[in-house]
A = this chain, B = another copy of it.
Amino acid sequence: MALRYAILGLLLDRPSSGYDLAGRFADVIGAYAWDAKHSQIYPELRRLDQEGLVEVVDRGARRRTTYRCTGEGLTALRAWLMAAPTSTGGVKNEHALRLFLLGVLEPEEALEVLRQTEAGARGKVQDLEAEFAALQERTGSASGGPLGLTVQLGIHSFRATAQWARWASEQLGADADLDRSRADQCGSGSSAG
């Protein structure tokens, strides 16, 4: 069910074709909220159309079909957003899982993954900060409008990841140093737990 609300939300921001939506999923929203492929998007758009939650506003070249969210669609989306999130549909985040399991790697391996993680996260933060500045200018609002909230959520999340990666690297480095000095003293190897 989440897919349809993700689609409605994207269409509410701006009318789009299935192809557009696939791109937008792969882009921003797919990175930390919800992802979907075109093979799932097209049938769902047809279903939403049948149910009156979206409507076709344009048929362009190459069979391009542009959809818009209807009033009924907005109502449905709002109802879903306000509904008590009782069923916390289980999270599936492969990237987070990798970080979660870092402890099983040797310190040097883990440090390499952490370096990549931190660099990637800082890159994302920069991208999103530029996007936020553009939004502030475009909307003439310090908050960047509705989309600004979203972008800031991304900034906060990636910054937290980067800061954690930095902290974790320092801990691993310190532990490795400790291991080395122990090894120097005792003449015995070391290992992770």
Contact = CB atoms under 8 A, between A and B. Distances in A.
A42 interface: no
A143 to B, nearest CB: 4
Give the one of A95, A149, A161 with max B CB within 10 A: A149
A174 B148 CA distance: 14
B149 A102 contact: yes
A81 interface: yes
A90 interface: yes
A103 B146 contact: yes
A78 to B, nearest CB: 6
Contacts of A149: 99, 102-103, 168, 171
Interface string A126-156: 0000000000000001110111111011001
How many copies, total? 2
Interface stretch (A31-39, A48-56, A182-190): A31-39
Contacts of A153: 96, 99-100, 161, 164, 168
Interface in A14-63: 25, 29-36
Interface of A: 2, 5-6, 9, 12, 25, 29-36, 74, 77-78, 81-82, 85, 88-105, 109, 113, 141-143, 145-150, 152-153, 156-157, 159-161, 163-164, 167-168, 171-172, 174-175, 192-193
